[in-house]
Amino acid sequence: MSHINSPYFVGNDAYRNNLENGLPLISEGLDSVRAYQFEMHFDIPEVVRAAGATIGEDFLTLGAKQVTAVGFSTEAIEVNRVNDKVFYPGKASPEELTVTFDNLYQPQIANLLWQWFSAIYDPTNGKYNSGRTGALGGFKAQRATLVSLDPHGQPLMETRFFGVYPQAWKTAEYNYGQNDFHTIEMTFKYDFMEHVSSSEAAPGGALTSS
């Protein structure tokens, strides 16, 4: 049985009314968040600062130009009973977070990102960080925050990632035929995440709306 009583967009005055009575709702009332209105904030781990990093988090925010789709997913537990097959939610796992940074001249963001990655595994000596020093194992950032902005540039909502560390560091292709900024692509893993509105994020969030 269908629960749809009438179509939304065809013959519905609320969404497509006579232009003499004003604009249709679909032309002014169904606005959405823009994919390009965002900022990415990082808390640099103390172990990276101890290694002599002088670049602040603000430059990572300025350099971040692209963030992949992120989220959590739950595995399905399949239960079979005679002729029936039903499913229950199982373990939850976070998806990877990939951020593309412009390889800026000043400051040299690529060097900072490499310092963070090599704080986990240093290819020059083949050693891994033991993970037993400092908060969150030393190499993990306390938090990274993806901030969605409204049309006025004010925080609209936040997606927070906790226990963040770089899993992969990769430079973009070098090519004489390209006409674009060179970039650094970083893949991050995180332990937990949450998604909140700007009003909920105000007490402890990275930004507050005014």
Residue 18 CA to residue 36 CA, distance in Å, equals 33
Give the pLDDT confidence of 12-50 residue by residue, as tens digits: 666 666 666 667 767 767 788 899 999 999 988 877 766
Give the C-alpha separation, 152 to 34, whole Å. Answer: 12
Structure tokens at 27: 């032309």
Please check the confidence at residue 203 and state whether its pLDDT lies above 50.
no
Tokens of 114: 């490499």
Q: Global pTM?
A: 0.79
Both tokens of 130, joined, read 């033991």
The residue written with tokens 């990275």 in the block is 206
Q: How confident is the model at residue 156 (pLDDT cuts 50, 70, 90)?
A: very high
Cα 4 → chain centroid: 36
pLDDT band at 124 (very low <50, low <70, confident <90, very high): confident
Hey, what domains does the chain have and what are their CATH numbers? 32-201 (2.30.110)
pLDDT band at 115 (very low <50, low <70, confident <90, very high): confident
Q: What pLDDT digit, counting tens, does each position of 93-105 carry?
A: 999 999 999 998 8
Which residue type occupies 10? V
Distance of alpha carbon 120 from alpha carbon 166, whole angstroms: 8
Length of the chain: 210
